[in-house]
Amino acid sequence: MSYKTALLGAAAVCLVLPGVAQDSDSGENRLEAITVEGSRLNQTEAEIGSSVSIITAEDLEKLDFDFVLDAVASAPGVTINQNGSYGGAASVRIRGASTGQTLVLIDGVPVGDPSLTDGSFNFAFLDTSDIERIEVLKGPQSVLWGSDAIGGVVSVTTKDAEERLGGSAFAEYGSFNTLRGGASVGNANETGDFRLSASGISTDGISKADEANGNNEDDGYDATTLSAKGGLNLPSDTRLEASLLWNDAEADYDSYVFGAQGSVGDGDESTKNETLSGNITLKAPLFDKRFENLLMIGYSDISRENFTNAASSYSADGDRQIYRYQGTFTVDDRNKLSFGAEHEDTSADGQDSSIDGYFALYEVKPVETLTLTGGIRLDDHDKFGSETTGRIAAAYQPTEQIVMRASWSQGFKAPSIFQSTYICTFCGLTEPNADLKPETSEAFDIGIDWTSEDGRASAGITYFDQDTENMIDFSYTAGYDNIALVKSKGVELFGSYEFTNWLGISANYAYIDAEDGNGSPLYRLPENSGDVTVSLDPEGPFSGAVLVRYNGDESNTDGTTLDGWTRIDLTGGYDLTDRIELYGRIENLFDEDYQQVLGYGTPGLSGSVGIRLRY
């Protein structure tokens, strides 16, 4: 409790002081945004050498995504699964890696749930209203971010204040008696900046268990999200920053029903989930900003409680604290060195673990058009010993229109607290598996991106190949054991074309061939998936977009096949004034009947209308 109090108190100082300072239009002391924050070297997309997808606040607004889950699904190579809409447990997989092998960061803080079996992050509750950008780094990223980044990283950055006193508000109403709204206020000046935001959603929802199977009971969902972010500009270009994100959600869900499709049917069950994450960061540049220093203390806490017939049936709580130092020294225009250390303490339901990490990255540009990056990291876990991972990447830009890139990297994931402490009593065991080892991966990708001289057209292709060993799965002989192997390879494509300055089309496609050690395809993973987006923004008050999303056939855990599906969504906006916009969306335009997970339903034809104010 004292740790939470200290974090909240320091955050309050960073948020309040700028608000009482004198207004100013000057932004000279604001930190400049970097192109790929997850690279840890301030690299651009043309320099990083590996595949990354960036989803901006403009993208989120244009396609009117309410949840981060739906937004990350638009990145090629990313697969989502949700046990029913509106609060159903939701997972994100990158290039076939499991959801527990996807590291999720919010403002640089890991937010996976230590109390879950695999320590993964549940994407069901993360609202987009205060999100500035989402980066999806694909392939093992353990050199950059340590354990859990075995398949990739989803890095979420919340919004900063604009360089004036102002804010925004929105309200919308839609199908299933859904109400959603929120507001924000912020200011930035020479002294610092702050931003406060709140949003909420309430809906009657649909039945989590598919209505087509005779399940008629709606499962509601209610959530509130509060966020705060701010900073103080101190002498000598030093800056103190803090951020907080809090979410409180309650979702109804359905029961286990033997013999039903997916073993799920109507039932009176619900879950309450509370998530808190935040950080305090000090940035201190030296030597005319050539030597950047970052000190961060981060914290995340997730508590869950399930109810059956309104009586508590299960509860869990997990938290983590992270302490991070990173130094980045720009030797000259062609050489850059970054190094750092991290310490992470994790606890869940009375059990705990810790890990220390030390990393070094080096960027060299032998010529202006070639960027080479190498890195190495040593992680030392208090229970599972040391693991060393490496990464090399190259990005070559022979012309302004072409970028060629390649990378090789390793990843590892230490067993979760649950996996390492679980005793399978019904298996006849009396202690956890003492021989459990970390999961490891090795991968490479190679690709080329092209942009036309006039900037109206672009295209890219990436080939990837990844092997994951010692994957942890349930075993009746050991409880949890290193018994699985996954081989994944495939191709990611994207392209876009602007027909006019107001009409454009973009598309992406991914082919993922992922098999276990027996040569069987992975469950709940389509070989083929992709999106097509048509954007319209003519002169005048109207703008709109059409999103076509395709998800191919998937294997179910019971040996059957889940049919592929195609869904079409429409979004549109109309500016009444420079500050007032009406907007709306139609989801599942042709009322496609489909499932993401066997037995769980999805909304049919539905929609919403809303109003957005900027002041």
Q: pLDDT value at position 406? A: 98
Q: pLDDT value at position 30? A: 29
Q: pLDDT value at position 162? A: 86
Q: For the purposes of burial, counting CB atoms within 10 Å of the CB of 282, is it exposed (0-12), middle (13-18) or buried (19 or more)?
A: middle
**pLDDT tens-digit readout, 554-606:** 999 888 999 999 999 999 999 999 999 999 999 999 999 999 999 999 999 99
Q: Is the predicted pLDDT of residue 11 greater than 60, yes or no?
A: no
**Cα gap 243→227, rounded to integer Å:** 7
- Confirm if 264 and 88 have CB atoms less than 8 A apart: no
Q: Three-class SS of residue 54?
A: strand
Task: Tell me what percent of the residues of the chain surpass a pLDDT of 70.
Answer: 94
Backbone angles phi, psi at 211, to 5 degrees: -60, -30
**pLDDT tens-digit readout, 255-311:** 999 999 999 999 999 999 999 999 999 999 999 999 999 999 999 999 999 999 999
Average pLDDT over residues 15-41: 48
Q: Is the predicted pLDDT of residue 13 greater than 80, yes or no?
A: no
Q: Three-class SS of residue 161?
A: coil
Q: Is the predicted pLDDT of residue 517 greater than 60, yes or no?
A: yes
Q: Three-class SS of residue 62?
A: helix
Q: Is the predicted pLDDT of residue 33 greater than 50, yes or no?
A: no
Q: Is the predicted pLDDT of residue 20 greater than 90, yes or no?
A: no
Give residue 99's Cα distance to chain centre.
11
Q: pTM (2 decimals)?
A: 0.92
Q: pLDDT value at position 326? A: 98
**pLDDT tens-digit readout, 304-353:** 999 999 999 999 999 999 999 999 999 999 999 999 999 999 999 899 99
Q: pLDDT value at position 375? A: 98
The DSSP annotation for 71-116 comes to HHTTSTTEEEEESSTTT--EEEEETT--GGGEEEEETTEE---TTS
Q: pLDDT value at position 277? A: 98
Q: pLDDT value at position 23? A: 37
Q: Is the predicted pLDDT of residue 489 greater than 90, yes or no?
A: yes
Average pLDDT over residues 521-537: 96
CA atoms within 13 A on the CB side of 283: 17
Domain assignment of residue 498, given as a range: 2-614
Average pLDDT over residues 225-251: 97
The closest of 123, 137, 132, 126 to 61, measured between CA atoms, is 132
- Confirm if 449 and 402 have CB atoms less than 8 A apart: yes
Average pLDDT over residues 416-434: 94
Domain count, the chain: 1
Of the pLDDT bands very low, low, confident and very high (cuts 50, 70, 90), residue 164 is confident
Alpha-carbon distance values, 160 to 34, 41, 44, 54, 192 (Å): 13, 21, 20, 17, 11
Q: pLDDT value at position 12? A: 37
The residue that leads in pLDDT, 29 or 107, is 107
428: left (phi over 0), alpha (psi -120 to 50) or beta: left
Q: pLDDT value at position 16? A: 37
**Cα gap 453→154, rounded to integer Å:** 31
- Report, in angstroms and rounded to the nearest whole number, the Rg of the chain calculated over CA atoms: 24
Q: pLDDT value at position 36? A: 87
Q: pLDDT value at position 22? A: 35
Instruction: State the chain's mean pLDDT as an integer.
Output: 93
Q: Three-class SS of residue 614?
A: strand
Q: Is the predicted pLDDT of residue 97 greater than 90, yes or no?
A: yes
Q: Is the predicted pLDDT of residue 21 greater than 80, yes or no?
A: no
Which CATH number fits the domain that encloses residue 484?
A: 2.40.170.20
DSSP state of 127: B
- Confirm if 613 and 180 have CB atoms less than 8 A apart: no
Q: pLDDT value at position 431? A: 95
Task: Tell me what percent of the residues of the chain surpass a pLDDT of 90.
Answer: 91
The closest of 62, 60, 59 to 542, measured between CA atoms, is 62
Q: pLDDT value at position 239? A: 98
Element (H, E) at 363: strand 351-364
Average pLDDT over residues 240-251: 98
The residue that leads in pLDDT, 15 or 393, is 393
**Cα gap 408→139, rounded to integer Å:** 9
